[in-house]
Structures are given as C-alpha cells and as structure tokens.
A and B are shown apart, each in its own frame.
Chain A
C-alpha cells in the first residue's frame, strides 16, 4: 500500500511536468490549428538556459540553503520562462505568420524545420553529451512511511500555480477573452475589433513561456538534459494533449497527469520471470511496457472518444 501511494505521488509529479509542456501544444493548436513541432525544442532551450544560470551563480552539488541558491533558482526560473517566451514569439513571427494563409501543411513543415534548427543550436551551444545541473534540495520529508523530497514539493507547487494562473488568465481577463474569441472564429473576432495577430503572438508568448518554466521544473526533478530531449518530451506531451482533447486546456492538464500516473503505476505489474510471483505479470515487468500501455490507452480513448477525454465538453478551445 505504501508503494502504491508512493507511486501515485511520483506519477503526479511527473504528470505535472508533462502537463505544463502539453499546455503549450494545446494552446497553439486551439488558436491556429497548428501542431507546433518546435515546442519540445523550446522546452529543451529552457533546460539549457536553466543550466547556464546555475553555472553563472556557481551553484555546486548539495548547496547549503541560503540566499545564493534561492536567488539562482528564482533567476533561472524567470530567465528560462521569459527567454523561451520571447523565442516563441520570434519563431511565430518568422516561421508561422508568413504562412498563415498558406495550405495547412506549409506551417507544419516549417515547424519541423524550426525544430531541427533549435536542435542544432542546442548542439552547438551545449555539445553532444548529456549535461546536468547541480543536485539541489534532496532533503526527504516523511509522512508516516510515505516519503517526498523538497524538490518534488517545489515541482508540484510551481506547476499547479502556473496552471491556475493560466486558467484565470484565459477565463477572466480581456486578453483571455480575445484568445477564446480568435480560437472560435478568427474572422468574426477580427470583425469585432480583436487584433488577431497580436492575440496569436500572445498565445505563443504564453505557450513558449510555459515550456521554459517546464524546462526549469523538469531539471529539478529529472536532472539530465541533452539537445534531443525536446523530441522525447514533446512526443509524450503531445500525446497528453491529444489524450485530453487537443485544444482544451483542462484536457491537457488531465492528459499529462494521466500519462504520469499510468507511467508510474505500471511498475506495480510484476515481472513474470520472477520466481516469487509464479508466472503472474508480464515479461520484463510493467515498467518495460509503460509507453506501450500509455499508447494502448490513447488508442482506446481515441476509438471511443475521437476528440479526446474533454474534447467535446467545452465548446471554446484555446
């Protein structure tokens, strides 16, 4: 039972990271119906910026708690978010806006192109090998037998705050209303006086900013990154967005959490080669099948609900 609760916790933490990246996919799709393949690579840039900032503050493994580390974390978080947000806007301006009225496939291909360009920039910047930030805040808190590290708490709280803020912005602010309007009907929104170009730019700003924040949070939890990481994480996050219903914000969060939980809980399925379980379970243990199981669930959901878990329930998509 302890293990089950522990795995649920771990799943929620991983899921929160996936959800943050998935939000960027879903926002962009909601507004201009473009699958932004470069999104995962913006996330990769976020991880690189974070490592650079930690390096600039001379943070080493297991730093004592104090001003330098807190300051470095805040600066890294802000820099990663802001720089990635700007990067998102620039990409939209250069690679997507000129193709806005071109056939659907054109921006898709330019998105793949941007993704490759970003990967190469990452390669030139940090080299070919995986790199790591310093290991920080590994203090473990125990609640009965359940353990949770300080890092995990920071990860979950930051992700939750960001998601709540995003929800509030989309639902309760003027720009959020404009975003929903553009998502529903771009031309009608333009006729009502909404500056469509600016709204789309803003969407990229927020989406890419979330990817940058996710890059920071990801490194706290999974302290290794490399220039190809955007592809792997992008795939998982894109799956999360589709699972939840692409274009739907709450759906993306739900999809991310679900993938995190499934990926964690499959570890409960024992390895059938293990003598102790007498052939029960699946070969190599459940963990070996996590992606297979996640995609099996995705296929099942798409067969019965083609628009994803929450795809149809909310008419507005942002």
Chain B
C-alpha cells in the first residue's frame, strides 16, 4: 500500500519539477543575450504536400523545390543568427493519394510546434479546404505553390461560381483575416485559358467534359464549360465521376456524342491517366484529343500515357514556365543537378519557401522575436502574425516571375502556360506550347 501511494504522488511531483525546469530554461532563453552568429536558434519551415503514393510525381518536385530554398538560405547564412530547419509533412492517406484528413492532422501538428514559422502547402485544393480553417485560427501563414480553386480565396464576382454552397470564405477564414496565400493563379482563369486555347488555337468546336468530383476538378471543369460556351463552342455533356478503374461505359457514351476534344477536370491519380489510356481502346475516341488542367501535367501521366498512341494531350499550368524566365536559369541548373527533371511545381515550391523565408527575415528585422523553444506558444503567436504581415507585403522577383499578393491572398502574377504531351529529350514529357498572361 505504502509503495503505491508514493508512486501516485511521484508522478505529479515529477511533472511539476519538470515544468519548473522548462520554465526556467524558457526564461533564460528569451531574456538572455541575443543569439550568436553560429546559428543556434532554430526556425522551422514546414511543408504540407503529397509526396508519396499516386501523388509522388506531383508533390515531391514541389517539396524538393522548397527544400532547396531552405538549404540555400542556410548555406548563405541568409538570416544571421538563425538556422532554418526543414520540416516536411506528407498528406497522402490510406487511399494512396492526397487526403484532406491527413492534411488537417499535419497542419495541427505543425502548429503545435512553436518553432514552425510558416507552412508551404498544401498542393491540392480539397486538402486546402480542410486545412485553412485550422491555420487561419492559429494563426499561421500557408503559402500554396499550386492550389488553384478560385473559391478558396474569393466569393465575388458571381460569374466565378463561388456563391451559395460554394461560398467558403466564412468557413475558410473564420478570423476574418487573410493568412493563406498562393502563387498559382486560379481555376477561373486556368479553365478559361484552356477553353480559349482549345477553341481558338486548336479550332475544336465541340467538347465533352468529365471531372473527378473533387474541389479542384469540378471548379476547373465549370470554368472551362462557361468560357468554351462563351467562345462559341458546344459542350456535348458533363459528367462527374469519382475515381475508378473502369471508365469503359462512360467513354462509350462519350464516344457516341463524337466530341472534337475531351476536357478532363481533375488530377492524374483520380482518373486522368486511366481515362486517357482507356480512350485509346474505346472505338470513336482512339484519336480524340484530350485537354486538362495542371492536375494532369505530371511526369507519371506522361510516362504512363506515352507519345506513341492516341490523340494529342494538352494541359495548362497556372504559372509561368521557369525555363522561360531568364533569371531562373541558375535555379533550374541547381535543381536538375540535385533532383533531376523539373516538375510542374518545382519552381512554385522553391518560390513559396523563398517568400516565406524573406518574410521571416523581414519580420525579424522589424523587431519580431522568434520563439526559442517548441513549447513557447505565446511567442509563436506573435511571431507568426508578424510573418503573416510580411508575407502580405511580398514584392518578390522569383523563378516564377514577379510575385505579390492582392487583398485575398491571390498572386497578382496571372500567367498561364499551355503544354502538350510530347517526347522531351527522348522520353515522354510536357512540351511548352504557349503562355497567356491575363490582365
């Protein structure tokens, strides 16, 4: 009996002693002398991207880009006295693709670490939907290299379709303040550019639209339909189909309408690859061209589909092509030397992290103090707010062109690139076709 009682007391006593010790340490940390130039104060840069499973070829290049930005900043001692630590998270869930629930858990765990100053990501718009309310309330900045769903940041004008159940601003921005930024331009523009390109440049007069039922896919499909119709084209049908292995019935139906082009709203891992592969074995669609957004612009799609069967494939990317930006040459050289071929959002990941690092530097220069321990949540709150304020003021010339943010957190850089599936240095890849810069 006696022994048990002592044990019961030992636990709370031990904990309180530990707390005292921690508090003492924290005290000396914040009130002590300024950190030395050896870089012993840690600031963490989080990333929240899908980097495994079916999404590896989408998210991993973006993560590599961000990692490179952090490594370069450390090597150049970019923020004297501080060491940046890269803290990557992966939101691929049990299904093998990006999972909003996993994303939300990742963001919560990044927030709980006071030393994380900001987050690069997420990659997918439906994951952003789950994460934004959490990061907004913390608050902590999120900079996405690739989210393109327009309703994540705006609910007007009504033409972009973010009204009624699609009006998400109150849910995604509960504090009323903007804490989420993105350097990719939105689907209302991406879908429009795709429609213009397919109708005006390629002269396709009829289209059939399939989307993958996800936030991103439905959004881009709806915008495509609006613009294609406005251009004078005819939409022969629009179906929303959740990712499956068998599209043969759907495609047989599509074939009966004889479309000039099939537009797919969605990502490669939720049907893009399967649909294109199965088109080739569907009578009537064997040579039909396919169009899509940045979701199909991946290396995995190019490798799986190849360039020797079926009709042409076009995709749009809501960013400038890094190879077309003269100042990006060094980045491309360094990136390819370290990680191999560029992904669609390698440059986006790099610039998102650079913007975050610049903002951290500016916040420190303006007098904000980064927390010195992982448990200093009060310190984290002040510092993170200071970082958010600096990100909002971004005025940065990067490898994705000039970046600054409007009042919604959207980039003011509205260049969209169009690509075609083709052999690129001997292997199937994406060949730059044209770029359209919107006002």
> Which A residues are closer than 8 A to B by beta carbons?
2-3, 6-7, 10-11, 13-14, 60-62, 128-132, 135, 138, 140, 147-149, 151-152, 221-224, 226-229, 232-233, 263-268, 271, 273-274, 284-285, 287-288, 290-291
> A7-B249, A10-B249, A267-B253 known; 13 other A-B pairs, CB under 8 Å?
A6-B252, A7-B252, A129-B299, A130-B273, A130-B274, A222-B278, A223-B280, A224-B274, A224-B304, A264-B249, A267-B250, A287-B249, A287-B250
0 or 1 for each of B367-394: is its CB under 8 Å from A? (1 = yes) = 0000000000000000000000000000
- Residues from 31 to 56 in B contacting A, C-beta threshold 8 Å: 52-54, 56
Q: List 30 A-B contacts (CB under 8 A).
A: A6-B256, A11-B249, A14-B246, A61-B306, A129-B303, A129-B304, A130-B269, A132-B277, A132-B305, A135-B306, A135-B309, A140-B286, A149-B283, A152-B281, A223-B280, A223-B281, A224-B277, A224-B278, A229-B245, A232-B244, A264-B248, A267-B252, A271-B237, A284-B213, A285-B237, A285-B238, A288-B213, A288-B240, A290-B244, A291-B244
Are the C-beta atoms of A3 and B248 separated by less than 8 Å?
A: no
Kindly report which residue of chain B lies nearest to residue A141, judged by CB atoms.
B283
Min distance, Cβ A284 to any Cβ of chain B, angstroms: 4
Q: Is B316 an interface residue (CB 8 A)?
A: no
Min distance, Cβ A98 to any Cβ of chain B, angstroms: 28
| Assembly CA distance A266 to B246 (angstroms) | 13
**CB-CB < 8 A to B239: which residues of A?**
271, 284-285, 287-288
**CB-CB < 8 A to B252: which residues of A?**
3, 6-7, 10, 264, 267
**CB-CB < 8 A to B242: which residues of A?**
288, 291
* A221 in contact with B248 given A131-B304, A287-B241 (CB within 8 Å): yes
Are the C-beta atoms of A228 and B309 separated by less than 8 Å?
A: no
| Assembly CA distance A10 to B285 (angstroms) | 14
* A223 in contact with B278 given A130-B300, A130-B304, A285-B237 (CB within 8 Å): yes
0 or 1 for each of B307-318: is its CB under 8 Å from A? (1 = yes) = 011100000000
Kindly report which residue of chain A lies nearest to residue B51, judged by CB atoms.
A128
Min distance, Cβ A226 to any Cβ of chain B, angstroms: 6
Kindly report which residue of chain B lies nearest to residue A60, judged by CB atoms.
B308
**CB-CB < 8 A to B309: which residues of A?**
61-62, 135, 138
Min distance, Cβ A277 to any Cβ of chain B, angstroms: 10
- Residues from 295 to 350 in B contacting A, C-beta threshold 8 Å: 299-300, 303-306, 308-310
Q: Chain B contact residues (Cβ within 8 angstroms of A): what range? A: 35 or more
Are the C-beta atoms of A2 and B237 separated by less than 8 Å?
A: no
| Assembly CA distance A179 to B238 (angstroms) | 50
* A288 in contact with B241 given A61-B308, A61-B309, A130-B300 (CB within 8 Å): yes
Are the C-beta atoms of B54 and A226 separated by less than 8 Å?
A: yes
* A224 in contact with B273 given A14-B246, A60-B308 (CB within 8 Å): yes
**CB-CB < 8 A to A273: which residues of B?**
238
Residue among A135, A264, A266, A273 with most chain B CB within 10 A: A135
Min distance, Cβ B235 to any Cβ of chain A, angstroms: 9
Q: Which 5 A-B pairs have the closest CB atoms?
A: A264-B249, A147-B283, A129-B300, A61-B308, A284-B240
**CB-CB < 8 A to A266: which residues of B?**
249
**CB-CB < 8 A to A62: which residues of B?**
308-309
Are the C-beta atoms of B248 and A223 separated by less than 8 Å?
A: no
Kindly report which residue of chain A lies nearest to residue B306, judged by CB atoms.
A61
Min distance, Cβ B327 to any Cβ of chain A, angstroms: 31
Kindly report which residue of chain A lies nearest to residue B235, judged by CB atoms.
A274
| Assembly CA distance A7 to B286 (angstroms) | 17
| Assembly CA distance A209 to B250 (angstroms) | 30
Are the C-beta atoms of A271 and B249 separated by less than 8 Å?
A: no
Kindly report which residue of chain A lies nearest to residue B284, judged by CB atoms.
A147
0 or 1 for each of B204-223: is its CB under 8 Å from A? (1 = yes) = 00000000010000000000
Kindly report which residue of chain A lies nearest to residue B243, judged by CB atoms.
A232
**CB-CB < 8 A to A233: which residues of B?**
245
Our pick among A128, A140, A284, A285 for the contact of B53 (Cβ within 8 Å) is: A128
Kindly report which residue of chain B lies nearest to residue A2, judged by CB atoms.
B256
* A232 in contact with B278 given A61-B309, A128-B56, A129-B57 (CB within 8 Å): no
| Assembly CA distance A140 to B284 (angstroms) | 9
**CB-CB < 8 A to B286: which residues of A?**
138, 140
Are the C-beta atoms of B274 and A222 separated by less than 8 Å?
A: yes
Are the C-beta atoms of A14 and B52 separated by less than 8 Å?
A: no
| Assembly CA distance A263 to B52 (angstroms) | 30
Q: Is B27 an interface residue (CB 8 A)?
A: no
Kindly report which residue of chain B lies nearest to residue A265, judged by CB atoms.
B249
* A271 in contact with B305 given A128-B54, A222-B277 (CB within 8 Å): no
Are the C-beta atoms of A263 and B273 separated by less than 8 Å?
A: no
| Assembly CA distance A216 to B171 (angstroms) | 48
| Assembly CA distance A273 to B306 (angstroms) | 35
| Assembly CA distance A38 to B217 (angstroms) | 33
| Assembly CA distance A131 to B306 (angstroms) | 11
**CB-CB < 8 A to A287: which residues of B?**
239, 241, 249-250, 253
**CB-CB < 8 A to A11: which residues of B?**
249
Min distance, Cβ A20 to any Cβ of chain B, angstroms: 14
- Residues from 69 to 107 in B contacting A, C-beta threshold 8 Å: 95-96
**CB-CB < 8 A to B246: which residues of A?**
14, 222, 263
| Assembly CA distance A6 to B246 (angstroms) | 15
